[in-house]
Structure 1
Amino acid sequence: MTKKNVLIVDDHPLFREGLKSLIDRSESYQTVGEAGSAEEALQMAQELKPDLVTMDISLPEKSGIEATREIRSELPDAKLLIVSMHPKFEFIAEAFKAGARGYVVKEATSAKLIQAMDALCRGEFFLDGGVSLEVITKLMSEPETEATIDDENYSLLSPREQEVMRKVVEGGTTRKIAEELGLSPKTVENHRANLMKKLGVHNKMELVRYAVKLGLVDVDQWKE
C-alpha cells in the first residue's frame, strides 16, 4: 500500500521529532518534510505537495491559521489537521474556516492522532478535546466583520490600546484588566471602545478574529 505523504508544521523541534517518529511508524503515512514557520510551511507545501499537513496554531511571525489558509489556497486537495494545545472555541472555529478539517490536542494519544488523519483522508471532519461540533458550526456561521484586516489598522492603536486589546482577546474582564494595568474600569472601557472603533470591529468575536488573522495572540496560552 502506498503511504500518504505528511508535512509537519510546528516551531518546536522536539515535538516535530516525536510526531515524525509516530507518523513514520504507521502503516499508512510517511513524513516528507518539517517546517518551523508559516513561510517555511508554505514553501515546502508548494514543493512537496503533501497529502496531509499537521499544523500548529502558534507559530513565529504568522499564525498557523493564516498558514492553513494559504496552503489551502495553493493546495486545495491537501488535508489540514490542527495539532495544538486546547485553545478557545473561537480559535478552533477560525482554523476550520481557514480550511482545516481536523483538530487534535498535542496531548492526544498516538492512536487518536492516526484516527484523525484517517478521518481526514476519508473526507471527514475530526474534532478532539471535548470540542462540540455544534459549537464550531455556530461560530463558523457567524458573519465576518466587514473591516479590512491589515497591520495599518493595528498601527493606529496606542501602546496602551494594544495592551488592552490583547488582554480582552485573551479573555480578561474589564475589572481584571483594570487591576492588572493599574487603571480604573472606566478607563479600560474607554480604551476598549476606542480601539474597536479604530479597527472597525463591533464586538468581541470580530476582535478575536482580527487578532487571530494577524497572529497577534499566542493561542497556545489559551486554556479552558
Structure 2
Amino acid sequence: MSKWTIYIADDQTLFRKGMARLVKSFRSVKEVKEASNGKEMLELVKQQPPDAILMDLDMPVMDGVEATEKIIAKYPTVKIVILSMHNDYQHILYLMESGAHAFLQKNAEPEEVKLALESVIAKDFYQNELVVEALRKGVMEHGKKMSRPAFEGNSSLTDREKEVLHMICKELTMKEIGDKLSLSEKTIQNHRARIMEKIGARNTVGMVKYAFQIGLIK
C-alpha cells in the first residue's frame, strides 16, 4: 500500500503542531507538511500536490474557504478535509458543494481524523453525522422552493445508474461496487461519470444531495 502525503493548514500553532504529530503517527502516512494560512498552503501544493489536506477555515492572509476553492480548481485530485469549529449546515453545504471531501469539527476524535483521511483517499468522500444532517436540512428547507438548477440533467437516471448511485451513497469504493454488480471497476467509473453529467453534480456530495432529493436515500 502506498503511503500518503498530508498537509495541514491552521494558524493556531499549538493545534497545528498537535495535529501534525497525530497524523505522523498513522502508519499509512509518509510525510506531513504545515502551513499557517491558505496562501502558504497554496505554495506548498504548487511545489508538490499532497494526497490530502486538513484545512482550517479561519486563517489570516487567505482563509480556508478561498484556499479550498483555488486548490480544487487547479488540483482536483487533492482531497480536502475541513477542520473547523463552525458546524452550521450552511457552512458545511457550501464547502462540500465547493469541492471539499469531508467536514470535521476541531474536537473530533483522533480515530475519526484517521477514518476521514482513509475514506476521502479511497472513496472520495467521508460521510459523518454533520454532513448527513446538513444535507437533510438543505433538502428540507430548499427542496420544495428550488427548481434544482444544479441537477437539471438532460435525461433521467437508468435503474443501473440509480443502483450505482445508491452504493456510492453507502460509501462503497468503485471496486467494491463493481464486485457486487459483477462489473469492472472501469465500467463503474463510467457509470459514475455519466451520473454526474446527467444530474449536474460536481462531486460526491452533489450526488448524495441529489439522492436525498429524489428519495433514493433517507
Q: Secondary structure at the match of 1:95?
A: helix
* Alignment pair present for 1:6 and 2:6: yes
1-side partners of 2:105 and 2:133: how far apart? 19
Counterpart in the other structure of 1:135: 134
Q: Is the 8 A contact 2:92 2:131 kept in 1?
A: no
Return 5+ residue gaps in structure 2 as ranges. Answer: 150-218
Q: How many residues align?
A: 143
Counterpart in the other structure of 1:78: 78
CA 1:14–1:134: 2 relative to 1, 3 Å: closer
Counterpart in the other structure of 2:107: 107
In the TM superposition, structure 1's runs of 4+ consecutive aligned residues that sit over 4 Å from their partners are 140-144
Q: Is the 8 A contact 2:23 2:32 kept in 1?
A: no
Q: Is the 8 A contact 1:8 1:31 kept in 2?
A: no
Give the C-alpha shift of residue 139 in structure 1. 3.7
Give the C-alpha shift of residue 74 in structure 1. 1.6
2-side partners of 1:84 and 1:45: how far apart? 21
1-side partners of 2:80 and 2:15: how far apart? 18
Counterpart in the other structure of 1:147: none
Counterpart in the other structure of 2:98: 98
2-side partners of 1:19 and 1:31: how far apart? 13
Q: Secondary structure at the match of 2:123?
A: coil
Q: Secondary structure at the match of 2:2?
A: coil
Percent identity, please: 29
Give the C-alpha shift of residue 135 in structure 1. 3.2
RMSD: 2.2
Alignment of 1:5-154 (within 5 A): 5-128=5-128, 130-133=129-132, 135-136=134-135, 139=138
Q: Is the 8 A contact 2:90 2:134 kept in 1?
A: no
Q: TM-score, normalised by structure 1?
A: 0.58
Q: Is the 8 A contact 1:46 1:74 kept in 2?
A: no
Counterpart AA for 1:83: L
Give the C-alpha shift of residue 132 in structure 1. 4.5
Counterpart AA for 1:111: E
Give the C-alpha shift of residue 133 in structure 1. 2.0
Counterpart AA for 2:111: A
Of the two structures, which has the highest relative contact order with CA contacts closer than 8 Å and spacing of 6 or more? Answer: 1
2-side partners of 1:29 and 1:137: how far apart? 33
1-side partners of 2:109 and 2:136: how far apart? 25
